[in-house]
Amino acid sequence: MVDWQLVKEYFPDIAAKFPITLKMVIISISLGLLLGFIQAIIRINKVPVLNQLALVQISYIRCTPVITQLYVIYFGVPIILSNFGFDVGGINKEFYAILAYTLNQAVFLGENIRSSLQAVPKGQFDAGRSVGMTEAQTLLSIVTPQALYISLPMLGTFLVALFQGTALAYLVGVTDMMGKVKLLGAKTGHTLEGYIVCAIIFAVISIILEQVFRVLNNKLDFANKKAKTDDNTVLRAAGGNA
Amino acid sequence: MFSIKFFLLCLKAAITHIPQNLIMTGLVLVICVILGTGIALIRAYRVPVVCYIFDFLMAICKVLPANLVLLIVFVIFNDNFKRVAKALNLSITIRDVNKMYVAVAALVICCISGISELIRSGIMSVPKGQYEAGYSVGMTKSQTFFGIIVPQAVRNIIPPLTSTILSLLKTTALVSVIGIEDIMTAAVGEASITYAFLEAYVAAALVFWVLGLVFEVISGLVERRYKKMA
């Protein structure tokens, strides 16, 4: 049924496309974190208009499948760009995939960051202000590090999910691992072997990522317990998420 | 440019296919809950040997992208159907099979680990003292399990399970990668005549959005109801 010889033959070809997947994941999660942070600030401070826009965006991203978001961006963005006189033909297909994943991640990460920021006791903020730090300084150097600490376990889950989600990027013409399988399949007529190679790569990398984050969480949790912080809220939030 | 006329055509086609996605979601949910409960029980009570097999299988199911599983299951099905049908002396051809069931089988593989894990944590969250309490008043093992543990576990499981339904619905959108009729393929099918792809995908997104909102409201209601009971 499965030609394992072919699996071996395909492996180097498909694995060579792994950096493209990696690139999409890293760019999307970094930009997503940035946008998510902005979204969280908007939501916490209830900035008029922007807050409502964020709510609509959150609802849209949450309720629609990634595959439709991907296609809407792939077909919609060129029309918008060409209206402004951009040359759409020269844009790499990866751009659309990264844009779609970034917007998707921004919402989920943003909601996560928001709840983490709110989990940091309010006293921490007041403490920063009381020693004469500005609001921005307090937020960035006192509240955010603690919030990141709380949201780390979820970050791992999101990263793995995003990594698996990028398996859809080939649908908009990105030649990543799945796209390569399609090309190989068109040439040789065997796609199953290619898919199995992809499955192996996705499984192995996902498991490695999961383990890395598990070790990281245990380490941080251990440090937290050892330090015996008086702040029970932080402790509970960190432990509860792990 | 965005054409309202084509958009409405696609929207109509998409709306008529809503039942297809709902049926798939429902089937996947029911099968996942039934199989997932079995797997969860085996893993929660550490049945020797079998539990390790399921630990492994669940870990594998969790790390595979859903569309990849769909593609693999579909290719295997297409390649082997004839041979299996012949071996079983069935006189049906591959055309007689509704491909939706193949997709449902694949989606079950994608979703079962999440649902089973949810049920397992629901069972595990019942404190050990509850078992001891049951035994101490002279109940048998099965009486304790069904009379004391199950009711408490179900209360823990229902709220997260309702919010899983939305993600199941979203996962069913992936069946379009293997060309099965659903909301998205219907909308795009309408567009392939006019090349109005943006309109088609916006229509599909809109239908999913509305469906998703309905599911969110329902799961919110369920969650609130169960919080009140607790």
How close B161 comes to chain A (CA, Å)? 16
Question: Is residue B10 assigned to a domain?
Answer: no
Q: How far is CA B149 from CA A124, B42, B129, B160, B184, in A?
A: 42, 15, 11, 18, 42
Closest to A13 in 3D by CA, of A187, A159, A205? A187
Choose the weakest-confidence range: B69-73, B86-90, B145-149, B155-159: B86-90
How close A1 comes to chain B (CA, Å)? 8
Q: Which residue has the higher pLDDT, A38 or B96?
A: A38
pLDDT in tens, A22-45: 999 999 999 999 999 999 999 998
Percent of chain B beyond pLDDT 90?
A: 43
Closest to B68 in 3D by CA, of A104, A20, A181? A181
* Number of alpha carbons in the 13 Å side-chain half-sphere of residue B186: 22
Question: Is residue B95 assigned to a domain?
Answer: yes
Percent of chain B beyond pLDDT 70?
A: 99
ipTM above 0.85, yes or no: yes
Question: Is residue B98 assigned to a domain?
Answer: yes
Judge whether A156 and A241 are in contact, CB under 8 Å. Answer: no
Q: How far is CA B64 from CA A20, A109, A203, A221, B74, in A?
A: 18, 22, 6, 28, 15
Show the domains of chain A with their CATH numbers: 4-241 (1.10.3720.10)
* Residue A205 CB partners (closer than 8 Å, separation 6+): A163
Interface list for chain B against chain A, based on CB atoms closer than 8 Å: 1-2, 59-60, 62-69, 71-72, 75-76, 79-80, 166, 170-171, 173-174, 176-177, 184, 197-198, 201-202, 204-205, 208-209, 211-213, 215-216
A211: which chain B residues are within 8 Å (Cβ-Cβ)?
A: none
pLDDT in tens, B174-209: 998 888 888 998 888 888 887 888 889 999 999 999
Question: Is residue B87 assigned to a domain?
Answer: yes
Please state the domain count of chain B: 1
Segments of chain A with pLDDT less than 50: 227-242
Cα separation, A138 vs A124, in Å, equals 9
The CATH number assigned to the domain holding B124 equals: 1.10.3720.10
Judge whether B209 and B44 are in contact, CB under 8 Å. Answer: no
Q: Whole domain around residue B98: which residue ranges?
A: 19-140
The torsion region of residue A163 among left (phi > 0), alpha (psi -120 to 50) and beta comes to alpha
The torsion region of residue A209 among left (phi > 0), alpha (psi -120 to 50) and beta comes to alpha
Closest to A10 in 3D by CA, of A201, A184, A205? A184
Would the CB atoms of B64 and A71 count as touching at under 8 Å?
no
Judge whether B59 and B166 are in contact, CB under 8 Å. Answer: no
Would the CB atoms of A68 and B198 count as touching at under 8 Å?
no
DSSP states along A31-85:
HHHHHHHHHHHHHHHT-TTHHHHHHHHHHHHHHS-HHHHHHHHHHHHHHHHHHTT
Question: Is residue B163 assigned to a domain?
Answer: no
Question: Is residue B223 assigned to a domain?
Answer: no
How close A178 comes to chain B (CA, Å)? 8
Closest residue to A76, CB basis, from B63, B198, B216? B198
Query: b vs e for B69-88, b when ≥16 Cβ sit within 10 Å of the residue's Cβ?
Result: bbbbbbbbbeeebeeebeee
Collapsed DSSP state (helix, strand, coil) of residue A229: coil
Cα separation, A163 vs A18, in Å, equals 11
Distance of CA B66 to the CA centre of its chain: 11
